[in-house]
Amino acid sequence: MPRTLPPAARWLLCVLLATGTVAQAADTPPSVDHALQGLQTPVEATRWLEAGPATAGTDGISAAWWEQFKDADLTHLVTKALSANADVRQARASLAQALAQQRASEAGQQLQIGTTGSASRQRSGGVNSNQVKGVLSASWSPDVNGTQAAELDRVAALVTAAQASMASTELRVAAEVTANYLQWRDTQARLALTERSLRSFEETQVLTQWRAQAGLANGLDVDTAALNTAQTRASLAPLRTQLAQYEHQLALLGGLTPLQLHGSLAVDPALQIPAAALNGLSAGVPADLLRRRPDVAAAQANLLAQWAATEQTRRAARPSVSLTGSIGWQAATLAGLGQPGSAVASLLGAVSWTLWDNGERQALIDRDDAALNVQRAAFDATLLGAVAEVEDRLVDLQQQRLRLPALEQAAQSADAVWQATKHRQAAGLTDVTALLVAQRNALSAWLSLQSARTDLLLALTATWRALGGGWSGVNGSGASAPVGAPAT
């Protein structure tokens, strides 16, 4: 005659089947499409307002974009910063923490096995009794209501967010190192221009003094020459201060002390404008920012994590089931363990279901729904900010390119005027005041040209950063593809 299940077992089986069927039918893992519902940002835009030099292609930016400046010192500084910078190390530790939490969540949902042993001696009514016990136990909570699946989705999204945040930090640090290095080289160049002009002003001052002694110049000319010399000499101090400050900042970004960095960089290498990278820059389309910018990817992952957390809270209102079992031996002596009649076994199935909580569960759901709306707004803000930043960088890069040829022409013209005035003054056809004005104009024009060249390089750096810096996204191995370096 076939055996029938006890009533309690039949009731537990019905609950398992009903709850599992509902969970499988109604609960799907959080997805990008579901989580992005209700966003206000139109990410389907197909072109930029200011295309600049860029094209709407799909060619990616080189991950090691700073190497296109072809400067060994810059490459070394960026590489050092990506390994030693405090912010980068903190971001990597946060990623390791998220990965460890993911492993813990996955392991906590599997079968748990444990063992216990005890020995006791009791005395009651003048009679002593001993008990020795050894038990092997196992427990498992099947995910019949879907809360465990939602938890795994949540921690997986947090890992993705940590990966993208690490890549965003690396991109920021690389861009900051590059910008500080470019400004350091710019200050070097402007200092060299000013020192060269100072020597010219000193020569003019000495010449004017000789001419005054010969009766060919007056006291006003001498004072004017001395004024220009003194003003130019005074302008050297701020430039030297800036040079030291940029060097100190480079050391800080690279995890070094100023003393460790001082003297290790080349004195005055020529920084070339990477024309090929400038002309071949591809900005893609605004919708590409979802995959090209790590900060946007991190905001999206945080949104998905909150979606999963909300689902977890919602599903926790359904029944949960736990199964525990144990097998052991119990006897009066240690030798008695294993004897017939000493074995003890148990199997327990439990169902937990809150029937009335005075509105607590709904309040928790409302709380998580509000938190989800916060993340949606944060994602909107991040994406809109990214689009605006790219537009800013593209228009700046375009205008810097248009500005440079005019300043090059101005510097050459100012130099020509200075040389012509110098010859005319030597021939006695003009006074020293005109020569000093021509000298000042030439210095100003060359300083402006030098600053414009640096501004163009800074604009290119900022554009690379705004477009994601060649980030290739999060891979499936638990590591982000770092900026300019292999995943570690």
The crossing angle, in degrees rounded to 10, of helices 432-466 and 360-426 is: 150
How many structural domains are present in the chain?
A: 1
With 0-12 CB in 10 A as exposed, 13-18 as middle and 19+ as buried, what is 7?
exposed
Domain assignment of residue 354, yes or no: no
Of how many residues is the chain composed? Answer: 488
Look-up of token digits 């100023």: 258
Question: In angstroms, what CA-CA distances link 49 with 45, 53, 159, 346, 453?
Answer: 10, 12, 34, 71, 25
The crossing angle, in degrees rounded to 10, of helices 219-234 and 432-466 is: 20
What's the predicted TM-score (pTM) here? 0.82
Domain assignment of residue 41, yes or no: yes
With 0-12 CB in 10 A as exposed, 13-18 as middle and 19+ as buried, what is 46?
exposed
Domain assignment of residue 481, yes or no: no
Domain assignment of residue 203, yes or no: yes
Q: Which domain holds residue 164?
A: 28-111+145-317+359-466
Domain assignment of residue 138, yes or no: no
Domain assignment of residue 12, yes or no: no
Domain assignment of residue 416, yes or no: yes
Over its length of 488 residues, how does the chain's per-residue pLDDT go in tens digits? Answer: 445 545 555 554 454 444 444 444 344 444 445 444 554 545 545 566 655 444 434 355 778 899 999 899 999 999 999 999 999 999 999 999 999 999 999 999 898 888 887 676 776 666 666 766 667 788 888 888 889 999 999 999 999 999 999 999 999 999 999 999 999 999 999 999 999 999 999 999 998 899 888 888 888 989 999 999 999 999 999 999 999 999 999 999 999 999 999 888 887 666 778 887 777 676 565 666 667 899 999 999 999 999 999 999 999 999 988 888 777 666 555 555 556 655 677 788 888 888 898 999 999 999 999 999 999 999 989 988 988 898 899 899 999 999 999 999 999 999 999 999 989 888 878 888 899 999 999 999 999 999 999 999 999 999 999 989 888 877 644 445 545 543 33
Per-residue confidence (pLDDT) for residue 74, from 0 to 100: 94
Domain assignment of residue 462, yes or no: yes
CATH number at residue 416: 1.20.1600.10
